[in-house]
Amino acid sequence: MSSQHDTGSTFTNPVIPGFHPDPSVCRVGEDYYLACSSFEYFPGVPIFHSRDLVNWTQIGNVLDRPSQLRIPSDTPPSAGIYAPTLRHHGGRFWLVVTNVAAGEGNLLFSSVDPAGPWSDPVRLPGVHGIDPDLAWDEDGTCWCTVAGVSQFRIDPETGETLGPAQPVWSGTPGALAPEAPHLYHIGEYWYLLIAEGGTERGHGVSIGRGRTPNGPFEPCPANPILTHRSTHKPIQNTGHADLVQAPDGSWQLVLLGVRPGGGTPGWHVLGRETFLVPVTWVDDWPVVGELSPEMPAPAWPLRPVPATPVRDDFDEAELRPLWVSLRRRPTELCGTKERAGWLTLHADPSADTLDHPDLVFVGRRQQHLSCGVRTLVDCSGGRGGLAVRLDDRHHYEIEAGDGRIKVFARIGPLRTKVASRPVPPGPVVLGIEIAPQPSGDARTGPDHLSFGVEEQGGGFTVLATLDGRYLSTEVAGGFTGRVIGMYAAAGTVQFDWCDYQPR
């Protein structure tokens, strides 16, 4: 996956579109690396590379082995992997993260190469809390700060805590959910950057500074230094930020935000995305620039990366890193080696609908507000097709098998078949078209999704069109975004190719 942006005088936010929340960034020389939360999906923690902070390429996933990532089948949606911090120290990359599934707690990984392989986890049993951060002071002490906000000294090699937790500055008194702490030594001060206000419309970024890594910290008089609460700006829920310095000495902030669509209250469907905004310094305090969809280009040259093909023909032995599955990906149920040039999915006998946590599913994040997806599916050995998933209880799918093509909708406790027609003989091309809806009145949903089949003559026949608001965070709740992909509901289903096209 790569993001492509104008190389002229502006660039487009978000810099990493789609469900890529809780960004954490570090620079090594002229290279930038960024990691995001992944929740219940496997592999976990996508990691990206850039030479300009604007154009990013996914180079892998940090947690790509069962020994690193345990997400039991009873893990609910929006649980699993929360809020990584990515840092470089002592010639190694370090990533600390919380796995809230099955009481795994905080885990620390390291690698000399950010593309992997990464180590098996070092457990931090004495570090309680989510959103862990790592920072090293001049004498080599490693500080781990967590939401709340409290702080530990740890040995990153063993995971041992070196003393009890110490409470530190926790943001604006009375503010909701002080979280996402990041600690930096910049100039004469140690700075503690946090998010507060909750990750919904009240989200914001605040900062304090002190003379030592454990404070005391004085709050910035201008806090929150970034928030879009109580505005009509097109980017909302702005928070969970991380600072990075460019080689020319300037500073930038990566953060999460959402792009609501439709009428009231506004529905965001792609999840929380990664945005970029410049930072200047006044009186030793950071001043965040204006965050908007169209941004002035930074002072350094932009370096567009080669576009990742939007079509996958499944010709490689391993799936590309953009593909994710639900909670696990057993090699005996999913792979490209069984039938050359095809993705083969074997259904779990107990998982006959997308509601089941062990559904065999391979999907990619929806990254564009308008897009189309096609796949050629051979359902002669089972039932399966294409699904758009927000979580286990909110998804739409078009399915082939048993002589029929059917469209289903699951909205909360209700699941219904909304269309059906005979399936033609042989493999069939299933498709989804997603397009925003103009906001005609306060009740207008954000987009509509059309499900259909490519006919042999080349036309696309729509079987059903569904309102997109029901696959949004504002309806479903949680912390994730839409994922579109292929699944097997029964027997064996094979896919020759899958094509995702921005419109």
301 within domain boundaries: no
Same domain, 268 and 325: no
pLDDT of residue 460: 94
Residue 355 is a catalytic residue:
no
The verdict on 452 and 371 lying in the same domain is yes
CA 394 to chain centroid? 18
Rg for the chain, CA atoms, rounded:
23
Residue tagged active-site, from 22, 40, 64, 433:
22
Evaluate whether 5 touches 463 at the Cβ level (below 8 Å).
Answer: no
Q: Could you tell me if residue 306 is inside a domain?
A: no
Q: How far apart are CA 384 and CA 326, in angstroms?
A: 16
- 291 occurs within a structural domain: yes
Q: Is 171 found in the same domain as 195?
A: yes
Is 436 part of a structural domain of the chain? yes
List residues bridging with 363 in a β-sheet: 324, 485
Measured CA distances, 339 to 231, 314, 319, 343, 494 (Å): 53, 10, 14, 7, 8
Same domain? For 394 and 449 the reply is yes
Question: What CATH number should be reported for the domain holding residue 333?
Answer: 2.60.120.200
Q: Are residues 400 and 272 in the same domain?
A: no
3-class secondary-structure state, position 217: coil
Question: For the domain that residue 277 is a member of, what is the CATH number?
Answer: 2.115.10.20
pLDDT (tens, 9 = 90+) of the chain, 503 residues, equals: 445 455 568 999 999 999 999 999 999 999 999 999 999 999 999 999 999 999 999 999 999 999 999 999 999 999 999 999 999 999 999 999 999 998 899 999 999 999 999 999 999 999 999 999 999 999 999 999 999 999 999 999 999 999 999 999 999 999 999 999 999 999 999 999 999 999 999 999 999 999 999 999 999 999 999 999 999 999 999 999 999 999 889 999 999 999 999 999 999 999 999 999 999 999 999 999 999 999 999 999 998 887 777 999 999 999 999 999 999 999 999 999 999 999 999 998 877 667 777 789 999 999 999 999 999 999 999 999 999 999 999 999 999 999 999 999 999 999 999 999 998 889 999 999 999 998 778 889 999 999 999 988 779 999 999 999 999 999 999 999 999 999 999 999 999 999 999 99
pLDDT attached to residue 38:
98
Task: Burial-class residue 294 by CB neighbours within 10 Å (0-12, 13-18, 19+).
Answer: exposed
Residue in the structure block whose two tokens are 């929006």: 78
160 and 289 in a single domain? The answer is yes
The residue from 296, 328, 345 where one domain ends is 296
Same domain for 43 and 143, yes or no, is yes
For the question of residue 179 being annotated catalytic, the response is yes
Task: Give the helix ranges, DSSP H, for 115-209.
Answer: none
The token duo for 22 is: 């809780």
> Quick count: other Cβ atoms within 10 Å of Cβ 292?
15
Lookup: tokens for 345: 């999915």
- Give the CA distances from residue 205 to residues 136, 291, 352, 481, in Å, rounded to whole numbers and listed in that order: 22, 13, 44, 22
Same domain as 245, residue 317:
no
Q: Are 59 and 77 in contact (CB under 8 A)?
A: no
Domain that holds residue 231: 10-296
> What is the pairing mode between strands 343-346 and 334-335?
antiparallel
Residue 303 lies in a domain: no
Contact 428, 405 (CB under 8 A): yes
| φ/ψ (deg, to 5) at 150 | -135, 165
| Predicted pLDDT at 304 | 85
Cα–Cα distance between 191 and 500 in angstroms, integer?
42
Last residue of a domain, one of 238, 266, 296: 296
Residues 138 and 17 in one domain: yes
Same domain, 98 and 219: yes
Residue 353 burial (CB < 10 Å; 0-12/13-18/19+)? middle
Residue 424 is predicted with a pLDDT of 83
Q: How many residues does the chain have?
A: 503
Statement to judge: residues 331 and 420 lie in one domain: yes
3-state secondary structure of 79: coil
Closest CA to 502 of 310, 281, 234: 310
Tally of domains within the chain: 2
In a domain? residue 323: yes
Catalytic residue among 40, 64, 131, 179: 179
Report the distance separating Cα 95 and Cα 101, nearest Å: 18
Please spell the DSSP secondary structure of 9-24, one letter per residue: SEEES-SB-SS--S-E
How many CA atoms does the CB half-sphere of 228 hold within 13 Å? 22
Residues 364 and 454 in one domain: yes
**Residue 305 in domain:** no
Report the distance separating Cα 57 and Cα 49, nearest Å. Answer: 5
Domain boundary pick from 296, 330, 348: 296
pTM: 0.96
Beta strands at 105-111 and 122-123: parallel, antiparallel or unpaired: antiparallel
Inside any domain, residue 302? no
